Amino acid sequence: MSFENNNTGIIGKLEKYRIKSDQTNAAYKIPVENDFIFLKIYGPKYPRLKYEIRKLLGNIGIRQPVEYASPEKRRTYEATILSHWKANGYDVPDIIKNPFDELSGFPVLTTTFIDGLTLRQVLKSSVMAGEEKAKKLAALFTEVAARHQRAFLNNDNRLFHIDANTRNIIFAHTAIYHVDFEMGRPWEPVMVCAAREVLKLLVSIAEDVESSIRGMVFRLFKEQYGRDDVCLNIMKSVKERPFQAVHRFNNRRKKLQDPNKITLYDVVQYLL
């Protein structure tokens, strides 16, 4: 069943609550009993051809990242990770019962709505002082460090936020919430998962701050994170990848197209 073709039913009625997003899934902030809930309906990824090819490869047994799985499998995976984080005491939205029976045939995930500032909003704020931004970044980096330490101790590759971009981290009061766990490679070891989260986080942060303070942000990360082994793994994974000539050519091309573009080689240079 496709939610794209159900605009005259419940989906059409919920359209006014839809959250504008670049995501291919449909996401809604819906008022319920003087509060809000967050509802996500999983759909196909775009570009559609790439998604269908990847999904087909997964169906015939060739391992693919979670984000290329079917909507139903992505929903199950995200619910599993949210429950795992919650059980381990980390701040993520609570999964709640879907209040709309009409959506029972759709791959739907319903959670509490987290009201706060995304990391992107914090970094781009014109009214928040630089000292306050640095304080929030330090708190985030400390949280990541402690969680990664626990993941390494328990060999738990489910305690990583693979899509840790600045839109998926929310500061709500004194808590730091992580949202959107629809990406991952469940077969990868903890070291690789840690490197993936750190890379995603640092690239996303660097893109959202002024170039003049990027060095300071990376120094703050290294001070708070403290895992040289992960940073070394990142450097080796970027600089020792096969076909370096191709990767470096693509890197130069990206820089020519957008001089402010942050690439993996930039992250490595900052981490040195």
Of 112, 139, 162, the last residue of a domain is 112
Of 82, 112, 142, the last residue of a domain is 112
What pTM value is reported for the model?
A: 0.93
**Same domain, yes or no: 16 and 103:** yes
DSSP 94: P
Q: How many CB atoms lie within 10 A of CB 241?
A: 12
Among the listed residues 37, 212, 178, the one whose alpha carbon sits nearest the alpha carbon of residue 113: 37
**Same domain, yes or no: 23 and 123:** no
**Same domain, yes or no: 141 and 259:** yes
Q: How many domains does the chain have?
A: 2
pLDDT at site 182: 95
pLDDT at site 99: 92
CB burial string 161-196: b at 16+ within 10 A, e below: bbbbbbbbbbbeeeebbbbbbbbbbeebebbebbbb
**Same domain, yes or no: 39 and 137:** no
Of 86, 112, 138, the last residue of a domain is 112
Q: At CA 246, angle to CA 241 and CA 250, rounded to 5?
A: 110
**Same domain, yes or no: 70 and 127:** no
Q: How many CB atoms lie within 10 A of CB 78?
A: 22
**Same domain, yes or no: 129 and 241:** yes
pLDDT at site 153: 98
Distance between first and last Cα of the chain: 50
pLDDT at site 3: 44
Whole-angstrom distance, CA of residue 203 vs CA of residue 261: 9
| pLDDT tens, N- to C-terminus, the chain (272 residues) | 344 444 458 888 899 999 987 777 999 999 998 899 999 999 999 999 999 999 999 999 999 999 999 999 999 999 999 999 999 999 999 999 999 999 988 999 999 999 999 999 999 999 999 999 999 999 999 999 999 999 999 999 999 999 999 999 999 989 999 999 999 999 999 999 999 999 999 999 999 999 999 999 999 999 999 999 999 999 999 999 999 999 999 999 999 999 889 999 999 999 98
**Same domain, yes or no: 21 and 88:** yes
Structural domain containing residue 55: 3-112
Report the CATH number at residue 25: 3.30.200.20
